[in-house]
Structure 1
Amino acid sequence: MTDTVIATYWVESALPLQRAAEQMAGEQSTGTFIRVARETDELRARFAAQVVSIEEREPSGRQPLPGATGDPAAIRGGLVRLAFPLDNFGPSIPNLQAAVAGNLFEMRDFASIKLMDLDLPRPFADRYPGPAFGLEGTRRLMGRDTGVMIGTIVKPSIGLSPEELAEVVAELVEAGIDFIKDDELQANGPHSPLRDRVAAVMPVLKAHADRTGRMPLYAFNITDDLDIMRRNHDLVLEAGGTCVMACINMVGLAGVDWLRRHSQLPIHGHRAMFGAVSRSPQVGIHFRAWQKLARLVGVDHLHTNGLHNKFYESDDEVLAAIAAVREPLLGGYGVVPVLSSGQWAGLAHETYAAVGTTDLLTLAGGGIHGHPDGVAAGVASMREAWDAAEHGEPLAERASKVPALSRAIETFGR
């Protein structure tokens, strides 16, 4: 096997960057802190990670990571690319992670070290089937062939009884929503068990489908220990549900892959806890690298955040995340970008202008549930704003004809 994985890192170190890169390569392949007897030149030639390139740049000037050694005044920064022989670990995502990340973040010679990108060889496509539904399957199931897909998160996030949840869902489906999801905090607790929520929600969805011929997707949160998650999936499937949600970082990438191979429903991939591995610019895994792995293991929808969100990412970072998710990966692995966090109707024009597509699932929580005229007006404001954006009609012009949109601007535009 001659295939290699190319991993790109942002590195800062008081060591010369060539030496720092060689330490990284050795630590994550054949080496240890000293050359050992059986680490022959022949073995190293076949199995050692290799330094592909070093692009020196200005260091960030940030305080070094805790425990970092070396003179802070001597710190250099740059992008380091390493090649890892696939012979070392095979097309296995858990073992790939051990190779390209593993102990790197703990090495004391680094003031900063972050995995920025991964270039993966064809054997990963041979092993991992990827999304089963993707964009086309999602549109088909929800009956929304064109235009942006409008969705929401159940609010309040937790605390509703199954009966109260059914009332909220009835209002949303009557308003023309395309997609509803459990909040990631709504699990399978004793107050509102998944079985009871499914029993309450599915008759509402089915009755709406009987009347209209169209059933919005409801992503029930099935995240749990693997054996329970499988039973949760089967519960939703047997009740006629058409989508499940898994929190990727809570069940792990291997857990999502395990679910994908069993699932007969689209998997809505939530990235909760992602900030723990990516928020720091000095350590962790960048979204660009992480999203490739999430797509490989088979999520059909993947959260990217949205413009002007309430979290840490800048608008430029959000747009880069949306673009990354839409890039072909090993010839496919198309997923639906999910825009969320602080979304409302007034962001449609800016988002559409920046992204240039309506192949998006945009989720408005407060932007729908917090509309002063109710959830139907909230959904209408989102639909009208996106339609105006797509057809080149200014927001104010459309709002002058649509009271729900005008009221949304009055409420959220402040």
Structure 2
Amino acid sequence: MNSDRLTAAYLIETPFAPEKIAEIMAGEQSCGTFTRVAGETDDLRMRARARVESITERPAVDAPSLPNAYLQARKIAGPWRRARVELSFPVANIGINLPTLAATVAGNLYDLGEVTGMRLESLSMPSAYRMKYDLPSLGIEGTRAKTGVHGTSLIGTIIKPNVGMSANETAQLVKVLCEAGVDFIKDDEVCANPAHAPLADRVPAVMSVIRAHAQRTGKHVMMAFNITDETDAMRRHADLVEKEGGSCVMVSLNYCGFSAAQTLRRSTGLALHGHRNGFGALSRHPLLGMSFQPYQALWRLAGVDHMHVHGLQGKFSQTDEEVVHAARDCYASMSDEVDDRVLPVFSSGQWAGTVPATWSAIKSDDLLFMSGGGILAHPHGPAAGVASLRQAWEAQRGGVTLEEYSRHHPELAAALAFFGQPR
């Protein structure tokens, strides 16, 4: 890769020649506009203009994917040509500026009048440029070290009910979950600093339970407190978590923004659990927004430690293939100098029965397997729910089917009987 340029690939749809649109994209997102202007010298363009690296045309379609008033007003019709366009941008245009990097590769391109589809598919950058941004504090190995979990996947759960419980009620549930044997607990994304359980009360109450459990058993359960808020408030919340002996905080990435996440990263050594809620608005349409690879690449530059990827055979709209690719993106190093991989977090409708698909696709224990109902709704209680998950992972590592393994493991057998039926 060129050491002074970063590369972004797009899927576009347009009634015009893709070559024309690629040049418009390159100009719009660097030194140009719709027409050449005074000051835009050949020398400046040579230094600062984005460059079209490749164009690969795809089959055309008969109808546009998105409405477009610009084309309608000009009575421009199809066929609607599709192409993969790869552009490179001088890093000197951007500097070390994450919001501007995002605006460069995923900004006004979405509004171009000449296109009826625009999706950022991939983003890559020189290792040296990546190293100028924030790194994860713990990442995969640090999270393992903090929780003491080695040689197996981490098992986690989510506080349920999502909202409504007081600080003391939440602490009592955390006590139950710690005793059940989980490695990780997190708040739900809709529970941050509610009136009925403010963080000022909830953090000390919950951490008192976690500290007592650690003193009794030697095991530190990692709790991701949802501190999503405005920037200064998040820093105060993180300070409180750290003061109480916590190791992790959770942030709703899309609604806090890059700058807030960077500020938080630089003010705390706690693990940043990156929750992607709202990502569907950016990704569900195949000709709009962005794929997970560039999304996670941008957030990794903000220094997150964990990234949600959803779950296989889960309750959300993503295909299993998309979930698998997302996990592999988290495993892909962005640096030649350090291990900057982040821990993929599998969640959404996960239980013992979804473990085989996960193991078959990922073939790695470097993941956090989050199960809410699969633990808390197990017919024999949360401890049996955790046991059923561990048994499912043991079966997969041993090459044994869940049904066979369950013959000698009642917790797994109960999970298969209960969750395996239509609910």
Where on the TM-score scale, by shorter chain, does this alignment land: which range? over 0.9
Residues 344-383 of structure 1 correspond to what in structure 2 (within 5 A)?
A: 344-383=351-390
CA-CA distance at 1:387 after TM superposition: 1.3
The alpha-carbon distance between structure 1 residues 2 and 373, as it changes in their structure 2 partners (threshold 3 A), is: closer
Structure 1 segments (4+ residues) deviating >4 Å: none
DSSP 3-state at the match of 2:116? strand
Determine which of 392, 395, 412 is the counterpart of 1:385. 392
What letter matches 1:41 in structure 2?
A: D
The answer to whether the 8 A contact 1:2-1:85 is kept is: no
> CA 1:361 to 1:2, structure 2 compared with 1: closer, same or farther past 3 Å?
closer
Cα distance in 2 for partners of 1:60, 1:86 equals 35
Correspondence 1:216-295 to 2 at 5 A: 216-295=221-300
Instruction: Note the alpha carbon deviations across 1:187-232, whole angstroms, 9 max, x for none.
Output: 1121110111112111111111111111210111111100000000
Query: Among residues 119, 138, 142, which one is paired with 1:114 in the alignment?
Result: 119
**3-state SS of paired residue (1:269):** strand
Equivalence for 1:399: 406
Q: Residues 339-377 of structure 1: CA distance to partner in whole angstroms, max 9, x if unpaired? A: 000100011122111111111101001111111121111
Matched, 1:180 2:181: no
CA contact (8 A) 1:9 1:80 kept: yes
Change (3 A) 1:261 1:61: farther
Task: Tell me whether 52-61 or 213-222 shows the greater mean CA deviation.
Answer: 52-61
Deviation at 1:82, TM superposition (A): 0.7
204, 212, 227: which one aligns with 2:209: 204
Normalization by structure 1: what TM-score? 0.97
Deviation (angstroms), 1:100 = 1.4
Once residues 201 and 212 of structure 1 are traced to their aligned partners in structure 2, the CA distance between those partners, rounded to angstroms, is: 17
Q: CA RMSD in A?
A: 1.5
Q: What amino acid sits opposite 2:324 in the alignment?
A: L
Identify the range of structure 1 (122-131 vs 387-396) with the bigger mean alpha-carbon deviation. 122-131
For residues 62 and 264 of structure 1, the distance between their equivalents in structure 2, rounded to whole angstroms, comes to 50
Tell me, yes or no, if structure 1 residue 102 matches structure 2 residue 107: yes
Q: Is the 8 A contact 1:248 1:270 kept in 2?
A: yes
Quote the residue 1:409 is aligned against: 416
Quick one: which amino acid aligns to residue 128 of structure 1? Y
Give 1:123 deviation, angstroms: 4.0
Q: Counterpart of 1:115 in 2: which secondary structure?
A: strand
Aligned-residue identity in percent: 46
Shift of 1:60: 5.4
The alpha carbon displacement at 1:272 in A equals: 1.1
Report the CA distance between 1:184 and its aligned residue.
Answer: 0.7
1:144 & 1:2 partners in 2: Cα distance?
Answer: 38
CA distance in 2, matches of 1:395, 1:126: 43
Q: Secondary structure at the match of 2:60?
A: coil
Taking structure 1 as reference, are residues 392 and 59 closer, same or farther at Cα in structure 2, changes over 3 Å only? same
State the one-letter code of the partner of 1:114: R
- From 347, 361, 366, the equivalent of 1:340 is 347
1:140 deviates by 1.1
Q: CA deviation at 1:71?
A: 4.2
Write out per-residue CA displacement over residues 289-311 of structure 1, whole angstroms, 9 at most, x where no aligned residue: 11111112111111011101211
Deviation larger for 124-133 or 376-385:
124-133
Q: 1:61 to 1:115 in 2, by over 3 A?
A: farther
**SS of 2:408 mapped into structure 1:** coil
Q: Which residue among 191, 195, 199 is the counterpart of 1:190?
A: 195
1:23 aligns to what?
24
TM (norm. structure 2) is 0.95
Alpha-carbon distance in structure 1 between the residues aligned to 2:343 and 2:385: 22
Structure 2 partner of 1:302: 307
Query: Retained in 2: the 8 A contact 1:91–1:123?
Result: no
Separation of aligned partners in 2, 1:319 and 1:145: 22
Distance in 1 separating the partners of 2:367 and 2:62: 37
Query: Structure 1 stretches of 5 or more lacking a match?
Result: none
Tell whether 2:82 aligns with 1:48.
no
Residues 127 and 334 in structure 2, CA contact (< 8 A), matched pair in contact too: no
Match among 311, 325, 332 for residue 327 of structure 1: 332
User: Is 1:91–2:115 an aligned residue pair?
Assistant: no
Mapping 1:139-150, distance limit 5 Å? 139-150=144-155
